[in-house]
Chains A and B, each alone.
Chain A
Amino acid sequence: MLTKRIIPCLDIKNGRTVKGVNFLNLRDAGDPVELAKKYALEGADELVFLDISATQEERETIYDLVYRVAEQINIPFTVGGGIASSDKVSKILNNGADKVSVNSAAVYNPQIVKEISDKFGAQCMVVAIDARHVDGQWLVHTHGGSKPTELELFSWAEKMEDMGAGEILFTSMDHDGTKEGFACEALAEMSSRLTIPVIASGGAGKMVDFKEVFTDGKADAGLAASIFHFNEIPIPELKSYLKEEGISVRI
């Protein structure tokens, strides 16, 4: 049976993990490769690296990082952040990443999604969408959720599916950082309207949040950052819990 996926997300700046981590047993917790190895060993199903570098110069370091991760990690991983051209996608995939995620660039130029999907296959095209509930409707935001657009979340997700997205990574800005659970209602609505998998992001704080995102939220995968980085919820414990609760997970 196909399992629900648990995906740690690592924020990267200038080739280093930025969110504070407190692993005593890691030689260098700021080294994304060390962290990635730890997560892979613990049973993470995939990894996401989000490059939040501010400058072009810093962004160039991502290729070397992708190469080093791919050398050592034998589970799939996605790279996102600042991807706006198929040349960059080509370089990232050639260095060993399995998928790329595109966010703001898709809003400014939806054709990029079709271009990447046609050239490299839908399986590597993740469209990341940040949205917030504003005056009764979910609106897509760009630039890490800071800039509102007039795009309505669900129709935007449907358009991205039509353009060739292989997966949608939906982050609720309203839930992100609250640790009070995922946006299950919106996720369920999205999942029912799409035929591609949906990755839920934003709001994970407790193990039950993951159970709910897979049952009520109908998500195919759950993504989180800090709860894993600070070891608040160890992945093996989370997966045992989910299994006991009747959710299909890989252990």
Chain B
Amino acid sequence: MIVLIDYDAGNTCSVMNALKRLEVDFVLSDDPEVIRSAEKVIFPGVGHAKAAMDSLREKGLVEVIKGLTQPVLGICVGMQLLCTSSKEGDADCLDVIPLRVTKFDENPALKVPHMGWNTLTNVQDHPLFKGIESEEYFYFVHSYYVPQSSYSIADCEYDLEFSAAVQKDNFYGIQFHAEKSGPIGAQLLSNFITQI
């Protein structure tokens, strides 16, 4: 069973709709036992990193998520929360991936949030991207980003190159909203469910 972590993240409903369209069996839960016993876990996220961490702490889910051994997919802020910390609200995050989430430069010529459809760069041969060509577009909305690192499995260019997708062990993260990225986004979610 796929479990979607329920902690009032803004895109929960969109992720649920995307999973329904894929005809995937899933449950939405904040119950540690249900989450721990999942075959795979999806960790959504939209909004403020600090507020999201506060919500996870309130629900007693911080250690639960850190201790998961099955595949976990963090989406957008869900990916950012997998990192050590975020500049957004100077939040301490889950520290699963030893990276610091930072903000796009305060550059008057640069529109922030990075909002809209963008292509990926440096896409690695990875099961998450199976059947997805490198020139395909994904939908991004974010003001903070995960820097490039050895955990990057795909990057994206906006002013600079940042991490569009990461993996460390059983933890996967995507900065873009696969649930809102048309048929290509659906393909990626399906890859997480069937190929990993």
Q: Are the C-beta atoms of A196 and B112 separated by less than 8 Å?
A: yes
Inside 8 A of A194's CB, which chain B residues have their CB? Answer: 111
| Bound CA span A237–B158, Å | 27
Inside 8 A of B143's CB, which chain A residues have their CB? Answer: 122-123
B98 at the interface (CB under 8 A from A): no
Chain A nearest CB: distance from B81 CB in Å? 14
Inside 8 A of B21's CB, which chain A residues have their CB? Answer: 72, 74
B29 at the interface (CB under 8 A from A): no
Inside 8 A of A167's CB, which chain B residues have their CB? Answer: 115
Contact (A197, B10) CB under 8 Å given A74-B185, A74-B186? no
Interface bits B1-39 vs A (CB < 8 Å: 1, else 0) = 000000000110110011011000000000000000000
Name the segment of A27-35, A89-97, A140-148 touching the other chain. A89-97
A48 at the interface (CB under 8 A from B): no
Q: Are the C-beta atoms of A123 and B46 separated by less than 8 Å?
A: yes
Inside 8 A of B17's CB, which chain A residues have their CB? Answer: 70-71, 74, 96
| Bound CA span A71–B179, Å | 11
B103 at the interface (CB under 8 A from A): no
Contact of A1 among B11, B118, B180 (CB under 8 A): B118
A234 at the interface (CB under 8 A from B): no
Chain A nearest CB: distance from B57 CB in Å? 18
Contact (A40, B182) CB under 8 Å given A120-B47, A122-B143? yes
Q: Are the C-beta atoms of A74 and B18 separated by less than 8 Å?
A: yes
**Residue from B13, B112, B177 whose CB has the most chain A CB atoms within 10 Å:** B13
B64 at the interface (CB under 8 A from A): no
| Bound CA span A40–B17, Å | 16
Interface bits A60-103 vs B (CB < 8 Å: 1, else 0) = 00000000001110111000000000000000011110100000
A5 at the interface (CB under 8 A from B): yes
**Residue from A3, A94, A195, A196 whose CB has the most chain B CB atoms within 10 Å:** A195
B141 at the interface (CB under 8 A from A): yes
* Chain A residue with the shortest CB-CB distance to B184: A74
| Bound CA span A210–B1, Å | 46
Q: Are the C-beta atoms of B182 and A74 separated by less than 8 Å?
A: yes
B169 at the interface (CB under 8 A from A): no
| Bound CA span A120–B10, Å | 7
Contact (A121, B10) CB under 8 Å given A75-B182, A96-B17, A197-B115? yes
Q: Are the C-beta atoms of B111 and A3 separated by less than 8 Å?
A: no
Q: Are the C-beta atoms of A98 and B14 separated by less than 8 Å?
A: yes
**Residue from A2, A40, A94 whose CB has the most chain B CB atoms within 10 Å:** A2
Inside 8 A of A76's CB, which chain B residues have their CB? Answer: 139, 141, 177, 180
A166 at the interface (CB under 8 A from B): yes
A9 at the interface (CB under 8 A from B): no
In the complex, 7 of the A-B residue pairs with CB atoms within 8 angstroms, ordered by the A residue number, are A2-B116, A70-B17, A74-B17, A74-B21, A120-B10, A220-B116, A250-B137
